[in-house]
Structure 1
Amino acid sequence: MAKAFTIKMLVAALAAVASSSAMAATAQDLGKVEQAAPAQKLTVTLALNLRDRDAATRYLQEAHSPASPNYHKFLTPAEFRARFAPSDATVARVSARLQAAGLSVKRIGSALLQVSGPAATVQKAFGAEVHVFQNKTTAQAGVSRYIAPVRAGTPSVDLSDVQAVIGLDSRPHFRPHLRQLPSHLQPAAGKTSGTVTGGNAPGQWTVTDLARYYNITPLYNQGIHGKGTTIGIVTLASFTPADAFQYWSQIGLNTDPNRLSVVNIDGGPGAPSDDAGSDETTLDVEQSGGIAPDAKIIVYQAPNTTQGFVDAFAQAIESNTADTLSVSWGEWEWFDQQAQAANPVNGQTTNVLQAYHDLFLQAALQGQTMFAAAGDAGAYDVNRAAPLPQYSKVLSVDSPANQQFITAAGATTVPSTLTFHPNGKAMQVKIPRERAWGWDYLNGLCQALGKDPVACGTFPVGGGGGVSGFISRPFYQYWVPGMQSTPAGQQLVDNSQNPPQVIASVPANFKGRNVPDISMNGDPETGYVVYYTSSKTGFSILSNNGGTSFVAPQLAGITALLNQSMGGRIGLLNFSLYGLLATGHAYHGHGHHGAPLREITAGDNWGYNAHRGYNQATGVGVPDVANLDAALHRYFWF
């Protein structure tokens, strides 16, 4: 058990060190929670095992197979709970044990319990000594004080039915997958910003430009604007709603002033803050709601903790109000693979990845279409948090985009001519056709600046993609040409140690989930404007924003349009995407409709090249939304 908590602390510490200037090393231990904060209660989330995951997965395939009598017979949360969740007897048994120990218990999801009580009582029940820490310098993600376990003992409660305990560590460690340009990579045309309308150059795009480029406009001409649908945003920072309404109004969209609602999870993430990532939530709302202007939007916002993330997903899925959900936060999957949710009974690493799996499986069975940003560190996801040269480069992917029952959103660079002025001399970089997003196309600029890609800030920036080392390849990818397994020799090494220390290893030759699934423009060089009220400088219109964090909410907005067109939920989009690929309809039109997808065959994400068919840089390619809508009607809607 002690070993499990040691691993847990190592993982969280590495995340903190790599992403926040050694927060853990600069934090003061204020002692036990009950001493440092006598009035503070502790609340944790307990994950229980589903009753029959295999049966649930089989039904999911039936619900997405046109030939099945269960096709699109999606479940309600009550039906899911009755068929696949832990039995009422199991929930009652666990609850009784915890209540007898002086704790309060509330069921917050089909397989999740919220448990709270006095700090000393919670620690005794779960066999953990938890301390309060005060950050000595700058706050990480807007948080200056947090709790974390320091040692473990024997739980006083029988937890044999419990899969995982989540919430004894409140350090923020998830990152928004938003990229903004450093000044030396800012193209000349991107240095001005003001009132923005349609017909803008890449770098100044709004959703109207996206709609024209990816052929969404024909759906608008048919009166399809997302009416009757609801988009959900799962996020870890609050925002200023007026920014979104101003954005929509400025680009000519008439929206319902009551379309937007906010649900605070676990007390919410606090006031809007640049440090916390409020620009991420702002763009999520602006992009998704701009593409589907008649859709309603619910923002599920939680503290930046593992517990907050899990609880926000649980609320969004259990309420079943949102037809499509988008998340643009994540971290390297190995962090989640470790004991961030330690099994308090046997000390084994029952990890958060399993909790995500069960939640997203329920969402897919309910017909909710989920999207996750695949990351902005190209094929080397961990190296955004653990940069070179201190750490070795590791081919790696992001969580939760690595999950089987979510659509991973990748990114491209659209055609453009970028003008830079290194050392006062004009230099053009031409992008003749849409390509996988990887900033290696800026190597010439970096050379002119006298910098290597790391010092220049271009490596490993690009669309997240690769192979999961911990999530098995899903059935819808079994037969897809181009699938890869994890390469050998992928170890995260801290080169600052003497001798260098191996921190983590990715299993070799693992037949894992391949990401992304689908892509659209996400390169900041050819990116978007964001209307944003900074907590430091006030309101402004920011240009040259990008990242897969744009693509995920954009796809959620597109799905709202498709749901309206189809007259109901389309469910997990991956079934349709890979189904089109399997049947040969992905890149070929029918009748007067063109191909629903377009292959991306140029560029790379530093680790994987784009090529015909599926690839780990762009997935199945990019959508032609009007043609995708027609293909769904023809091949999947009888």
Structure 2
Amino acid sequence: MAKQPVSGSDKQHLEGSKCIGQCDMAEQTEVVVMLRRKDEAGFRQLMTKVESGDAPGEPVSREEFDKRFGASEEDVNKIKAFAKHYGLSVVRAEANTRSVVLKGTIEQFQKAFDVKLERFQHHNIGEYRGRSGPVSVPDDIHGAVTAVLGLDSRPQARPHFRFRPPFKPARGATQPSFTPLDLAKLYDFPDSDGAGQCIAIIELGGGYQTSDLSAYFSKIGVKAPKVVSIGVDNGKNAPSGNPNGPDGEVTLDIEIAGAVAPGATLAVYFAPNSDAGFIDAVNRAIHDTTHKPSVVSISWGGPESNWTQQSVSAFNDVLQSAAALGVTVCAASGDSGSSDGVGDGADHVDFPASSPFVLGCGGTNLTASGQGIGQEVVWNDGDQGGAGGGGVSGLFDLPVWQNGLSVTGTGGQKTALAKRGVPDVAGDASPQTGYEVLIDGQQTVVGGTSAVAPLWAALIARINAIGGAPSGFVNPKLYKAKSACNDITEGNNGSFAAAKGWDACTGLGSPNGAKVAATLKPSAKKKS
């Protein structure tokens, strides 16, 4: 059976990783095969309007979207036949998410996709199953397959949160920290509890304890929101009891979103930390016809340079679907400044925050004065304390709504923005001025851009509830409005400095909730 490589599937071994032996050939695993759309030309036309902000008032319904832009039955059946030929079982085959999940042994997958899978060890991420070179598929399905994900089990993303370090106060001084409600007030969020909305929260490990959530919401005087746990690709709510691990991420996401929009349903999608798990979780969330999320919060990510081309393309494709469906996606821009923690001396941005179809959320350091904001600058607590991620994408072209912008270097030099600039917006993220949360029974203060994504997601949920319609793809509107955010003009995140207007540290700035709501207000046509 003649085979061809899947475009962009070539994978290199991670620097610093070493092969420690063969995989167990009888070990069972699952792989996600992503398929092309039925009407790619029609989808392109729709996306041109969405990207420019000229899309019709009503987004495409999930039902209509599935009918027009899902995978064809013929392509799904071809993958089923391919699976049968290699003795693989079909766990799930969905035309609407354009994904087929296959299960089989390592030996079967090696033969099916012409790959060699081995065990690797890396000092930072531990042991994982890896491969190098491309993934190949038979000629008859080559045109239908856009990505094959999950053969490699390497952790793909990291959570973007930071605990406040131990602090010795000056005499009489206490560090400021805030509940999410304090910040909603400081940022002038419109009055609403998000009733009738669903916020999807994506998690790649860890879990939450209901006792934490009950105690937390009771303490801040908010009715506990409805939280639904949804397993994707064998992921599940699995709290480890260690607040320093992924539990910290999961719990703070729920507590921040739930405090600000307690009337919304919080649907938490748990998936394995791999490119397959991450992409599939977002894909399942946006196509979820039971909970129908209008906004997605993502606090996980990794440097663009850590992703294969096929993974980025497959993920970005899912994020485009979200924009077409009128689902807003908020993603943390990272906590390691302009390097994104890569350590090669170059600047990097975090993906998926760097996707043009995502609202990239950067970080500030905020102090209050009386009832208002006293000072707000770029979050940069130095090498150990973290700094907001931001910069210029190496992968994505300049979106139309960022035309004419420039980046300011720390030396004050301005350069025309040539590719997608990150982030789009910002919010309080410094652990020094962070969020009061309760994780694994411990009251603590956290920061990180992962706190900003659920904060913005909850703001969008409030706005959606007030307007009775989804805000959808918000980037073109926010960039057009210019003044819907508090402009941050002081500080830097390493290579980039804050400046008047958009900058590569805090984007357009932190939210002025009332102005954001006015900017995203649905037209009369949209509300009908």
Task: Give the TM bin, normalised by the shorter chain.
Answer: 0.7 to 0.9
d(CA) in 2 for partners of 1:316, 1:42: 22
Of 293, 304, 312, the residue aligned with 1:322 is 293
Mapping of 1:72-111 within 5 angstroms?
72-105=57-90, 106-108=92-94, 109-111=96-98
Specify whether residues 119 and 328 from structure 1 end up closer, same or farther in structure 2 by C-alpha distance, changes over 3 A only.
same
Amino acid paired to 2:405: P
Unaligned runs of 5+ in 1: 18-23, 193-200, 339-349, 418-430, 441-453, 486-507, 534-538, 587-595
Specify whether residues 156 and 619 from structure 1 end up closer, same or farther in structure 2 by C-alpha distance, changes over 3 A only.
closer
Q: Tell me if 1:434 matches 2:380.
A: no
CA contact (8 A) 1:378 1:464 kept: yes
Mapping of 1:247-326 within 5 angstroms?
247-256=216-225, 259-268=226-235, 271-273=238-240, 274=242, 276-320=245-289, 321-326=292-297
How many pairs are equivalent?
Answer: 507
CA contact (8 A) 2:7 2:146 kept: no
Secondary structure of residue in 2 paired with 1:188: coil
d(CA) in 2 for partners of 1:574, 1:532: 33
1:434: how far off? Answer: 0.9
Amino acid paired to 2:269: Y
CA contact (8 A) 1:5 1:149 kept: no
Amino acid paired to 2:376: E
1:339-361 CA-partner distances (Å, limit 9, x unpaired): xxxxxxxxxxx421111111011
Specify whether residues 407 and 158 from structure 1 end up closer, same or farther in structure 2 by C-alpha distance, changes over 3 A only.
same
> After the TM superposition, which of the residue ranges 123-132 and 563-572 deviates more from structure 2?
123-132
CA contact (8 A) 1:132 1:148 kept: yes
Of 385, 392, 401, the residue aligned with 1:476 is 401
CA contact (8 A) 1:414 1:434 kept: yes
Give me the identity figure in percent.
Answer: 30
Mapping of 1:388-399 within 5 angstroms?
392-399=344-351
Secondary structure of residue in 2 paired with 1:56: helix
Amino acid paired to 1:249: S
Mapping of 1:469-618 within 5 angstroms?
469-478=394-403, 480-482=404-406, 511-533=418-440, 539-543=441-445, 545-581=446-482, 586=483, 596-618=484-506
1:342 corresponding residue in structure 2: none
Secondary structure of residue in 2 paired with 1:255: coil
Amino acid paired to 2:390: G
Q: Tell me if 1:32 matches 2:19.
A: no
Superposition TM-score, scaled by structure 1 size: 0.73
d(CA) in 2 for partners of 1:580, 1:301: 35
1:177 corresponding residue in structure 2: 160
Amino acid paired to 2:391: G
Specify whether residues 569 and 283 from structure 1 end up closer, same or farther in structure 2 by C-alpha distance, changes over 3 A only.
same
1:380-407 CA-partner distances (Å, limit 9, x unpaired): 11xx2x44xxxx3211100000111110
d(CA) in 2 for partners of 1:239, 1:191: 36
1:147 corresponding residue in structure 2: 129
CA contact (8 A) 1:64 1:71 kept: no
Specify whether residues 635 and 627 from structure 1 end up closer, same or farther in structure 2 by C-alpha distance, changes over 3 A only.
farther
2:412 corresponding residue in structure 1: none
Specify whether residues 607 and 136 from structure 1 end up closer, same or farther in structure 2 by C-alpha distance, changes over 3 A only.
closer
Specify whether residues 515 and 136 from structure 1 end up closer, same or farther in structure 2 by C-alpha distance, changes over 3 A only.
closer
Amino acid paired to 1:562: I
Secondary structure of residue in 1 paired with 2:182: helix
Q: Tell me if 1:372 matches 2:340.
A: no
Secondary structure of residue in 2 paired with 1:293: coil
Amino acid paired to 1:170: S
1:148: how far off? Answer: 2.3
d(CA) in 1 for partners of 2:8, 2:322: 31
Superposition TM-score, scaled by structure 2 size: 0.87
CA contact (8 A) 1:202 1:527 kept: no
2:354 corresponding residue in structure 1: 402
Amino acid paired to 1:414: L
CA contact (8 A) 1:412 1:437 kept: yes
Amino acid paired to 1:171: R
Larger Rg computed on CA atoms: 1
1:116: how far off? Answer: 1.8
> After the TM superposition, which of the residue ranges 101-110 and 277-286 deviates more from structure 2?
101-110
Secondary structure of residue in 2 paired with 1:434: strand
d(CA) in 2 for partners of 1:64, 1:247: 39
Secondary structure of residue in 2 paired with 1:288: helix
Q: Tell me if 1:188 matches 2:169.
A: yes
Specify whether residues 276 and 303 from structure 1 end up closer, same or farther in structure 2 by C-alpha distance, changes over 3 A only.
farther
Of 331, 338, 349, the residue aligned with 2:302 is 331
Secondary structure of residue in 2 paired with 1:577: helix
d(CA) in 1 for partners of 2:178, 2:439: 15
CA contact (8 A) 1:411 1:436 kept: yes
Of 508, 514, 527, the residue aligned with 1:626 is 514
Secondary structure of residue in 1 paired with 2:293: coil
CA RMSD of aligned residues (A): 3.3
1:145: how far off? Answer: 5.5
1:228-264 CA-partner distances (Å, limit 9, x unpaired): 11111011122223222221110011235xx111001
Specify whether residues 550 and 191 from structure 1 end up closer, same or farther in structure 2 by C-alpha distance, changes over 3 A only.
farther
Amino acid paired to 2:257: S
d(CA) in 2 for partners of 1:369, 1:32: 40
1:231 corresponding residue in structure 2: 199
Amino acid paired to 1:542: T
CA contact (8 A) 1:64 1:571 kept: no
Specify whether residues 136 and 414 from structure 1 end up closer, same or farther in structure 2 by C-alpha distance, changes over 3 A only.
closer
Secondary structure of residue in 2 paired with 1:414: strand
Specify whether residues 191 and 164 from structure 1 end up closer, same or farther in structure 2 by C-alpha distance, changes over 3 A only.
farther
Specify whether residues 246 and 637 from structure 1 end up closer, same or farther in structure 2 by C-alpha distance, changes over 3 A only.
farther
CA contact (8 A) 2:52 2:401 kept: no
1:21 corresponding residue in structure 2: none
CA contact (8 A) 2:408 2:496 kept: no
Of 231, 235, 240, the residue aligned with 2:209 is 240
Mapping of 1:106-145 within 5 angstroms?
106-108=92-94, 109-132=96-119, 140=125
Secondary structure of residue in 2 paired with 1:129: coil
1:284-343 CA-partner distances (Å, limit 9, x unpaired): 00001110011110000111111111111111012151111000001000111x3xxxxx
d(CA) in 1 for partners of 2:318, 2:456: 20
1:93: how far off? Answer: 2.7
1:625: how far off? Answer: 0.6
